[in-house]
A and B are shown apart, each in its own frame.
Chain A
Amino acid sequence: MEARSFVLRGALAGAVAGVVAWLFALVFAEPQVEAAIGYEEGRGAAEEALATAAGAAPAGGAEEEIVSRGIQSTLGIGIGMVGIGIALGLLFAVAYTLLHGRVALRPRVLALVVAGAGFLTIYATPFVKYPASPPAVGSDETIGDRTALYLVMVVGSLVFLAAAVFVARLVRERLGTWNAVLVGGVVYLALSAILMTVLPGLGELTINVVENGPRVTETPLPLRDASGAILYPGFDADVLYDFRVASFAAQALLWGVLGLVFGGLVERRLARGESAERTAETTSA
């Protein structure tokens, strides 16, 4: 098989996985996103009322809506999920093509292993340090820092997995495959733990420290008056939990479907190629 077949099957399997993740998101993400936007609007109104009461001029008008909520919550999230499915499917295909035939795993098993590695490095490890957050959780002013830190986690995880594989291969002859894989796992965990310790929590970013004092996250605290009485509650912990569990499940689903569909497509293609060869041999004989 040539790289072309793998790349096209990667894009196709990624698109299928994206559609599945989209359907999942419509049911499990949107209620949480709506609740979060409701919180954000309520809080904005409370802050504005407070500022007006304190004598400030009312802030002019609401934010202009570029894409309506109706589009965002149906078509928009679909374009995002299918698009990322295709993107990850293509990146997946590159890694798979380089490994195909070079490891003692049948294609559908290798496809699942590569998908698992993608899930671990591109999503799950960064999630431990900087988990997915619904609207209202996350300050406008720190978007640059947050994006940079998130990408450091993604790239770091990819490098650490490469390092872990390298070490495992190095010690495999001496320790056997099982122990070598365990050593690789320890290397990955240790390097990831060090990076997570070194990088700051989002609440520790300067802008946030100035506003709220040092915290681990940016999750909105309750709005209080001078006496400390709560005027508007902090962000709902249950909404945050449900959103994050759904986000994690959606990525597991996305990578799982990608690996399963891709593995199935490749094995079918290889079996067909072989039977075609056999037919050619019998007709020529």
Chain B
Amino acid sequence: MTTAGAVARARATTVSASETLPWLVSALLVGLVLYYFIGIDEGAVSVFGDTSYIHELVHDARHFLGFPCH
């Protein structure tokens, strides 16, 4: 595949935002929720109250990914 050909093919398949909005919005939401649960929940704030199961389970990853943890 040549670069010019690949660019042309990409141009021909540009996605219009309006028809695909549901997919983009759900991907954004699911991505943010996952990011929140792995990085932040049961630390500074918690949606399940005073449990810390998720925090403890992903504890090492949280440190290693750069999220504040203790």
Binding site for B on A (CB under 8 A): 1-4, 6-7, 10-11, 25, 29-30, 33, 66-67, 71-73, 76-81, 83-84, 86-91, 93-94, 97-98, 100-102, 104-110, 123, 126-127, 130-135, 138-140, 143-144, 146-151, 243, 246-247, 250-251, 267, 270-271, 273-274
Contacts and interface: CB of A to CB of B under 8 A. Distances in A.
A4 B68 contact: no
Contacts of A267: 1, 6
A151 B52 CA distance: 21
Contact of A76 (B26, B30, B58): B58
15 contacts: A3-B23, A29-B60, A33-B60, A67-B56, A76-B56, A80-B38, A80-B62, A84-B34, A88-B31, A90-B34, A98-B24, A101-B10, A109-B3, A140-B70, A143-B44
B70 A143 contact: yes
B66 A251 contact: yes
Contacts of A2: 15, 19-20, 23
Nearest to A1: B13
A143 B68 CA distance: 7
Given A90-B34, A94-B27, A147-B44, A139 B70 contact: yes
A132 B23 contact: no
Nearest to A71: B57
B64 A91 contact: no
A45 B44 CA distance: 26
B12 interface: yes
A252 B14 CA distance: 28
Given A83-B34, A90-B31, A250-B64, 19 more contacts: A1-B13, A2-B15, A2-B19, A25-B64, A66-B53, A80-B38, A83-B37, A88-B31, A88-B35, A94-B31, A98-B24, A101-B12, A101-B14, A143-B43, A143-B70, A243-B64, A246-B64, A247-B64, A247-B65
A66 B54 CA distance: 10
Contact of B58 (A83, A139, A149): A83
A87 B34 contact: yes
Main secondary structure of the interface of B (DSSP, over half): helix
Interface of B: 1, 3, 6-7, 9-15, 17, 19-20, 23-24, 26-28, 30-32, 34-35, 37-40, 43-45, 52-53, 56-70
Highest count of chain B CB atoms <10 Å: which of A3, A66, A150:
A3
Contact of A84 (B3, B61, B70): B61
B47 to A, nearest CB: 14
Highest count of chain A CB atoms <10 Å: which of B15, B38, B43, B53:
B15
Given A1-B15, A100-B10, A77 B43 contact: no
A7 B10 contact: no
Contacts of A144: 44-45
A72 B52 CA distance: 13
Contacts of B62: 80
A134 B63 contact: yes
Nearest to A40: B70
Given A73-B60, A147-B40, A105 B7 contact: yes
Contacts of B1: 106, 267, 271
